[in-house]
Amino acid sequence: DFLKPKSPQAATAPAAFLLRDAVKPKTTMIIVLKPGISKRDERSVLSEIRKLGYKPHVMRGVARRVVGAIGDELTHSNLETLTAQFPKLVESVMPIQKRYKLVSREAHPANSSIRVREHSIGSKKIHVMAGPCSVESEKQLLTTAEAVKKAGATVLRGGAFKPRTSPYEFQGLGEKGLKLLAKARQETGLAVITELLSEQHVEMVAAYTDIIQIGARNAQNFQLLIAAAKTGKPVLLKRGLSMKIEEWLLAGEYVLSNENPNLLFCERGIRTFETYTRNTLDLGTIPIIKRESHCPIVIDPSQGAGRADLVAAMCKGAVAMGADALLIEVHPNPAEAWSDGAQQVTLEGFAKLMNELKSIIAAAGRE
Ligand code: PEP
Ligand code: MN
C-alpha cells in the first residue's frame, strides 16, 4: 500500500505518475445480477459498468450470474449506484477485500466446473488424469493410454516439453510428443493434458492439448500464465516448489483476469525439511482452496511422493478430503522410464489403485 499515491493530485508529479502507471492499484467489485434476467438486460448493465471505468468479467453459475468488475482505484466511481440505477436487474454490489479477486469464493460462491471436451471437472465425478511423466514413443504412449482408459481415467497426461533440473537429462520430444498425444486422443477418446514450458510454444501446445499444464517451476512465471490464459484453453496451475497458498491463488488470478475462467489448481507437494519423500504433499490445501476459491482442486501424488509405493494411499486421502481430480504418473515399465521412474505406477498398479478408490469415492459422495 505504501506504493499507492495518496491522492489523484499527488499522482500528477512525474515520478508519482510513473509509479502509478507501473503499479496501477486495482479495485474489484462484485455485482450480483438478479436471477433470470435476459441477455439484453445483462448487456446494458455491462455497458454501464464499462462506462463507469471498470472491466467486467461475467461468471455464470447455475442459479445466477455474477460480474467481477475491475477498475483503477484512483479513478473509479462508485459502482454502488448500479442497484439504484437497475433495481430490476442488479441484486447487490460489494467490494472484494481479499488480494485475490476473481478466483475467490466471494466472487463466485458456487463451485466452478471446467469443461474439457465432453467432461466437466469440478463436478460430482472425480476425474483421473493419468499417463507417463514424459511422452517417449508411440508404443509407450498408446499402451499406457489404452490401459488408463480401460481402468477409468478420462484424461491422458504426458510431457512433451520437460522442465528437467539438469540440462543433460531428457528434455522431451517437443512437437513430436504433442503429435503422439493427439494420436492417442484420437485412438482412445481420452482428453489430453500437457505442460507448456515457454511462451515461445504457446500456440503450438494449445493447438494439440485440451488442458495446458503450468508446472511448479513456472507457477509464478506471470507472462507465461497470461499467454496460457489468452489461448482460452483450461489451465492447470501447479503449486510452486515453495509457494504460499496466497501466492498460488494470486498466480491463478493472472488466468482469470485475462478473460479465462477455466482454471484448475493442482497441489503437487512443496519443499520442506523432509527428505523421505521427494516433496511434502500438502493435502491440507484441499479444504483451504475449497474455502477460498471456486476453482477445482487437483492432486498430483506422483510428484508429491516421488515414490510409486505411496501414490495409492495419497490418492485415497485426496479423494476423502474433497479433491476434484487426480493427476497420476503411469508407465508400462517404470524402471526404464526416461524421467521420474521411481514415482510412476505400472499399468497393473494403476488398475488396482482405481479399483481401490471406488469405495472412497462413494464414501465421499462423489462418482
Ligand atoms: C510433471 O507433471 O511431470 C511435472 C514436471 O510436474 P511439476 O511441475 O509439478 O514438477
Ligand atoms: Mn514427472
pLDDT per residue as tens digits for the range 187-237: 999 999 999 999 999 999 999 999 999 999 999 999 999 999 999 999 999
Side-chain-facing half-sphere of 302: CA atoms under 13 Å: 27
Q: What is the pLDDT of residue 208?
A: 98
Q: Which ligand is nearest to the CA of 343?
A: 2
Over residues 304-338, the pLDDT tens digits come to 999 999 999 999 999 999 999 999 999 999 999 99
Q: What is the pLDDT of residue 6?
A: 46
- For 139-193, what is each residue's pLDDT tens digit? 999 999 999 999 999 999 999 999 999 999 999 999 999 999 999 999 999 999 9
To test the ligand 1 pocket, which listed residue (211, 239, 268) has its Cβ within 8 A of the most ligand atoms?
A: 268
pLDDT value, residue 5: 45
Whether the pLDDT of residue 283 is over 70: the answer is: yes
Segment 4-27 shows an average pLDDT of: 50
CA 344 to ligand 2 centroid distance, Å:
8
**Cell numbers linked to 104:** 475467490
Closest protein CA for atom 9 of ligand 1: 216
Sign of CA dihedral 104, 109, 111, 115: negative
Spacing, Cα 125 to ligand 1 middle (Å): 24
pLDDT at 121 exceeding the cut of 80: yes
Tens of pLDDT, residues 81-98: 899 999 999 999 988 888
Q: Is the CB of 132 under 6 A from ligand 1?
A: no
Neighbour tally for 238: CB within 10 Å: 26
Q: In a 3-state reduction of DSSP, which class is residue 177?
A: helix
Find the 285 Cα to ligand 2 centroid distance in Å: 20
The pLDDT value given to residue 220: 98
Beta carbon of 312 within 6 Å of any ligand 1 atom: no
Q: Which residues of 196-206 are buried (b: 16+ CB within 10 A; e: fewer)?
A: bbeeebbeebb
Distance of CA 358 from the midpoint of ligand 1 (Å): 26
Cβ 109 under 6 angstroms from ligand 1: no
The whole-number pLDDT of residue 21 equals 47
Quick check: 13 pLDDT over 90? no
Reported as a single tens digit per residue, the pLDDT across 227-280 is 999 999 999 999 999 999 999 999 999 999 998 999 999 999 999 999 999 999
β-partners of residue 67 are: 31, 58
Q: Is 165 exposed, middle or buried (0-12, 13-18, 19+ CB in 10 A)?
A: exposed
Residue nearest (by alpha carbon) to ligand 1 atom 8:
215
| 163 in contact with ligand 1, CB cutoff 6 A | yes
Q: Is the pLDDT of residue 12 over 70?
A: no
Residue 265 CA to ligand 2 center (angstroms) comes to 17
pLDDT digits (tens, 9 = 90+) for 56-76: 988 876 677 889 898 877 666
* 132/141 Cα distance (integer angstroms): 7
**Does residue 268's CB lie within 6 angstroms of at least one atom of ligand 1?**
yes
Question: CA-to-CA distance for 290 and 109, rounded, in angstroms?
Answer: 11
Nearest CA to ligand 1 atom 10: 216
In one letter, which amino acid is 197?
L
Name the grid cell of 32: 450480483
Q: Is the pLDDT of residue 25 over 90?
A: no
Atom of ligand 1 nearest to the CA of 327: 2
How does DSSP assign 20-63, residue by residue? Answer: HHHH--EEEEEEEEPTT--HHHHHHHHHHHHHTTEEEEEEE-SS
Calpha distance 215→327 (Å, rounded):
13
